[in-house]
Chain A
Amino acid sequence: MSHKNYISKVVSDAHAALDGLEDNMTVMFGGFGLCGIPENSIAAIRDKGTKGITCISNNAGVDDFGLGLLLKTRQIVKMIASYVGENDEFERQMLSGELEVDLVPQGTLAERCRAAGAGIPAFFTPAGYGTEVAKGKEVRIFNSKPHILEYAFDAPFAFIKAWKGDKAGNLIFKGTARNFNPMMAMAGKITVAEVEELVEVGELDPNGIHVPGIFVQRIFKGIGYEKRIEQRTVSAKAE
């Protein structure tokens, strides 16, 4: 009997990748600002109409793009993020109490994802000590410096975006589009990776893999990437 020497993670498209996603789940979304966000998965979740989402993501998108699409349709009930500016609809829902918001220091957010995927249930960090972030949290002194206890996240689904991936789920990112994607890949019980280029197994150099396929349960080739730029800044042309 013949067998492949890899485990295929390929699903046909973004809609097929959502199998098992139900209302009232906690879901991670990779990306920093609009850089490296899973554009296809977000659009598919909007179309599917999944409700009551608790969202773990560094940012909340802008009014008409990124997670802003799911805010507009009221599919998100709680946002766990480090920075949520640049979004009027977000502000309106937050001030009216429709949307619950939990602000987490960025490094703590990253480490809570990493810890979740690495089998570390909790950790101590100096970030936030002496601030309102530390309220109600255990404090311990290590090396004569106070630290606060933070817990790993628990996320049944993670949606991430990479540049290239192979059918076994091995991923490579481009530039600063890596950001939160690798840790969220590790953290998700079901991690859905969308990629710009989906290649055959063996085409990616194993030395250059950023996320090994073991952390990815589903992969598909995304289409129509908009890759919007939030702050277009340029230098004067060199003389």
Chain B
Amino acid sequence: MGLNKNQIAQRIAQELKDGWYVNLGIGIPTLVANHIPKGINIEFQSENGILGMGPFPVEGKEDADLINAGKQTITALPGASFFSSATSFAMIRGQHVQLTVLGAMEVSDVGDIANWKIPGKMVKGMGGAMDLVASADNIIVAMRHTNRRGESKLLSSCSLPLTGVACVKKIVTDLAVIKVTPNKGFVLLERAPGVSIEEIQEKTAGRLLVEGDIPEISLD
């Protein structure tokens, strides 16, 4: 029950507005690029230094000098541009990028996010995540509602080391679409088809406001 990865990405793609520059993180966020609604023009930014990122190349056309921030081979679309890491993060810090979509291990009901470090495990580093969450006006988190042990990832406060504070605006999980508000905490906007409000309440550890009718997520 609930949405699969592609459906989570598809729901997030519904948030895209014409003319936006968008940075997609690794994992489910990357899939958002496959679901851009018709008539919407978006340019994707990858923080290693490209705007106008296109799909993976066809076999034989891979170029070692053309990768995304996940170190995957990519293509550049007509109108693309390349730039340095300093210019790239000027775009991000300077709020020229309208939307950041990234994954998370935990989100708190005031919008704190933890997604880079698990104590006791090998730390790989935060990469560009701290710069992205500290600066972006609009941050959507794509993740599963619970972790592998079935514990809620939507908490009253994060238990893992933070990536950023009070920054997440919206969360799309396999079970629900949730808005994050500074005063009221999580606000339930939509539920996955066939998923009950009770199940979402049960799997949300942080404050969750449920007001009025909660429609099902539409993926048409």
- The judgment on whether A and B are partners is yes
A: residues with CB less than 8 A from B are: 32-36, 58, 81-85, 91, 94-95, 103, 105-111, 113-114, 125-133, 163, 173-183, 210, 227-238
The answer to whether B70 touches A231, judged by C-beta atoms less than 8 angstroms apart, is yes
Residues from 58 to 89 in B contacting A, C-beta threshold 8 Å: 58-59, 61-74, 76, 82-86, 88-89
The answer to whether A105 touches B130, judged by C-beta atoms less than 8 angstroms apart, is yes
Q: What is the distance, in angstroms, from A162's C-beta to the closest C-beta of chain B?
A: 11
Give chain A residues whose Cβ lies under 8 Å from the Cβ of B83.
Answer: 178
The answer to whether B67 touches A32, judged by C-beta atoms less than 8 angstroms apart, is yes
Is B161 among interface residues, defined by CB-CB distance under 8 A? yes
**Looking at the complex, which one of A82, A176, A180, A229 makes contact with B62 (CB distance below 8 Å)?**
A229
Can you report 30 A-B residue pairs in the complex whose CB atoms are below 8 A from each other?
Answer: A32-B49, A32-B67, A32-B71, A34-B71, A35-B64, A82-B128, A85-B124, A103-B125, A105-B127, A107-B128, A107-B131, A109-B85, A126-B93, A127-B93, A127-B131, A131-B165, A175-B65, A175-B76, A176-B65, A177-B64, A178-B84, A179-B49, A180-B85, A183-B85, A183-B86, A228-B64, A232-B62, A233-B73, A237-B58, A238-B58
In Å, the complex CA distance between A111 and B118 comes to: 27
Among B62, B124, B125, the one with the most A-chain Cβ atoms within 10 Å of its Cβ is B125
Is B195 among interface residues, defined by CB-CB distance under 8 A? no
> What is the 8 Å Cβ interface bit string for chain B, positions 156-195, against chain A (1 contact, 0 not)?
0000011111100000000000000000000000000000
The answer to whether A127 touches B130, judged by C-beta atoms less than 8 angstroms apart, is yes
Residues from 77 to 114 in B contacting A, C-beta threshold 8 Å: 82-86, 88-89, 92-93, 112
Is B134 among interface residues, defined by CB-CB distance under 8 A? yes
Give chain A residues whose Cβ lies under 8 Å from the Cβ of B76.
Answer: 175
The answer to whether A229 touches B162, judged by C-beta atoms less than 8 angstroms apart, is no
Q: What is the distance, in angstroms, from A171's C-beta to the closest C-beta of chain B?
A: 11
**Looking at the complex, which one of B58, B68, B71, B82 makes contact with A235 (CB distance below 8 Å)?**
B58
The answer to whether B127 touches A35, judged by C-beta atoms less than 8 angstroms apart, is no
Is B126 among interface residues, defined by CB-CB distance under 8 A? yes
The answer to whether A227 touches B84, judged by C-beta atoms less than 8 angstroms apart, is no
In Å, the complex CA distance between A191 and B59 comes to: 37
Give chain B residues whose Cβ lies under 8 Å from the Cβ of A125.
Answer: 93, 131, 134
**Looking at the complex, which one of B72, B82, B88, B131 makes contact with A173 (CB distance below 8 Å)?**
B82
Give chain A residues whose Cβ lies under 8 Å from the Cβ of B88.
Answer: 107, 110
Q: What is the distance, in angstroms, from A26's C-beta to the closest C-beta of chain B?
A: 19
Given A85-B125, A91-B122, A234-B56, 4 additional A-B pairs, CB 8 A: A35-B67, A84-B124, A103-B123, A230-B71
> What is the 8 Å Cβ interface bit string for chain B, positions 125-162, against chain A (1 contact, 0 not)?
11111110011000000000000000000000000011
Give chain A residues whose Cβ lies under 8 Å from the Cβ of B125.
Answer: 81-85, 103
In Å, the complex CA distance between A132 and B116 comes to: 11
Q: In the complex, what residue of chain B is closest to A84 when comparing beta carbons?
A: B125
The answer to whether B128 touches A105, judged by C-beta atoms less than 8 angstroms apart, is yes
Among A106, A173, A229, the one with the most B-chain Cβ atoms within 10 Å of its Cβ is A106
Give chain A residues whose Cβ lies under 8 Å from the Cβ of B62.
Answer: 229, 232-234
The answer to whether A130 touches B165, judged by C-beta atoms less than 8 angstroms apart, is yes
Give chain B residues whose Cβ lies under 8 Å from the Cβ of A231.
Answer: 67, 70-73
Give chain B residues whose Cβ lies under 8 Å from the Cβ of A82.
Answer: 125-128
In Å, the complex CA distance between A32 and B88 comes to: 13
Give chain A residues whose Cβ lies under 8 Å from the Cβ of B86.
Answer: 110-111, 113-114, 182-183
Give chain A residues whose Cβ lies under 8 Å from the Cβ of B164.
Answer: 129-131
The answer to whether B131 touches A108, judged by C-beta atoms less than 8 angstroms apart, is yes
In Å, the complex CA distance between A82 and B163 comes to: 13
The answer to whether B67 touches A126, judged by C-beta atoms less than 8 angstroms apart, is no
* Given A229-B62, A229-B64, A233-B72: A133 in contact with B124 (beta carbons within 8 A): no
Q: What is the distance, in angstroms, from B95's C-beta to the closest C-beta of chain A?
A: 10
In Å, the complex CA distance between A108 and B128 comes to: 9
The answer to whether A106 touches B134, judged by C-beta atoms less than 8 angstroms apart, is no
Give chain A residues whose Cβ lies under 8 Å from the Cβ of B65.
Answer: 35-36, 163, 174-177, 227
* Given A176-B49, A182-B86: A234 in contact with B130 (beta carbons within 8 A): no
**Looking at the complex, which one of A33, A210, A236 makes contact with B71 (CB distance below 8 Å)?**
A33
Give chain A residues whose Cβ lies under 8 Å from the Cβ of B70.
Answer: 231
